Structure 1
């Protein structure tokens, strides 16, 4: 006897709560969740971290949180509410990860307590990663504040920081215990951040849901003009598609396929090439357009279908080309493709379009054809 074979399953479930005025006195959704979650025999604490941009745009947020918990003494709010930069800086500079871990230690956040992050996707990534590695995992709550984090990244299961010049080189798969999408946070977004996240809805519609793509076409101008009701529907439908894919497929990405990263291999590289001057969602819009043109050059979709995709992205306000794509005879882009393969492990797997509403996985890229796609994308500037 020289073999023990072990297998077990761990169920995960969490709710994505859509609300308004999360920390208003008459909103009990957050307190009810904390009170009813887990073992009631243990005293629960909660540590809050806030994206500095959110804190600046919502100056009463910290005091609202403090007032809220005065009415709910069964949960201990720790004395300090940490405010840190948002965006990729919080994932690039390890001091913020260190500060988060030190706070978890200082305030005795154990595995029956909570770390709540309020911010955009990058901020949630870092705090989620810190929460996952502290004590081998303390409970983290996501409160996304951007369109992109409410409709995609904040409702998923991935956490991470950048390292060695590579996006998400350090990271974990660890679901939050809850996500709270508060629509009030969207009202203070800049035009770029309002628009940026819609690209993730375009992405998931193109690979999974033709009727949703057609809805996006019909409502592009309304979203670009900050119609809140239309944006709410987009966020809900996009979040549902993303979460349904995660739960029905390969949630911890054991294989090499990542269909939800359609358009992302080029986007990740472009973010680095521009020193993150370009927003993630802006880079994804460019990546979607590039891979859509490549799909057409392969003969999978028609020129008319490509034109519809380009037209939608332009109606949303996206610029679909950046000069860094063509630098060094596009060899920087080729490097990005190799880095994407390395990040996935195993063989290269990227998603292109078989038709509108349906993605197809491929394992090889004709880079001469991809270079042609870059050249054709440049024409969209005209």
Structure 2
């Protein structure tokens, strides 16, 4: 299979606003499409068909650890060296390191432990709705979709919830690589976040609490503790991933329901469809555009494409979840869709550890939104809404609603 002479332009403003037509063309033309991002000097290969994406996410030939790359490849893809201090976590590791790191936090995200959080999640969501209901119009992201999951993950980790605005600013900078070549904001974010976490963890070492950060400090796995950089990186990962996915799952899900009023009324009439509806939101307009990156450590043949050593690949999750070979009428939003084998949370050993928590937060959120805001609707023309310009995240910048 030949590589297109011109890479697919996945990060233009037009495609950011609506990537699905280009994804459909990519799926027709190739299972593995070559693209470029303005912030990187090397190509990015996007695995855009469902089966190819599943195969890719489970294929041990593709490395997560950047240390396996030649120095030239590291330079082309990672231009902010200060980020390395926040990058010693399980999403940047291969077995056996990945296995070790993941096992140290996995117990915090078992179904039983997550379910025990339901009363607290419900209380937080109810309080947020109490605060916004007297208003005529709000940005639902600011008023509800962001503060709910950031409060939950901050309380779980033991990080001060009152610092949530700083977390949001840092996370937005981290997930939006600059297109103009100015890396100063990214370097500043990395330094500020690193200093913040070092201070926080120093306080936890001196005064342990009943929270996940203290548990990770104390944890031992076969006599092995997390190094200071690993610990800081894991808290960074859990704090960022622990809220960012759910913010956009809630925001995108509300957007999809309001865009499809027939499905919204169906959900109001059949609340038993709530779990299925959340799964369809994940498939139809999931919160993650592409998987985190993997790399070839040698020249590799994959689904008919020759990929040189030292190049980056990602799974196109939004694209794979609209593959008509797997999902009948993939462009149709159907809250009762069964089966629904989406890969919004990934696949293989890096399947999202926090998926049970994100699902619970979304289920609680939509149940209460439907109950408390029966007249929920867009406060602006939905065609004017802007989508975030991000390598990874698929989410709205704002979601003004009235009720």
**Which TM-score bucket, shorter chain as reference?**
under 0.3
Q: Which has the larger share of strand?
A: 1
Relative contact order: is structure 1 or structure 2 higher (C-alpha 8 Å, sep ≥ 6)?
2
TM normalised by structure 1 equals 0.28
TM normalised by structure 2 equals 0.27
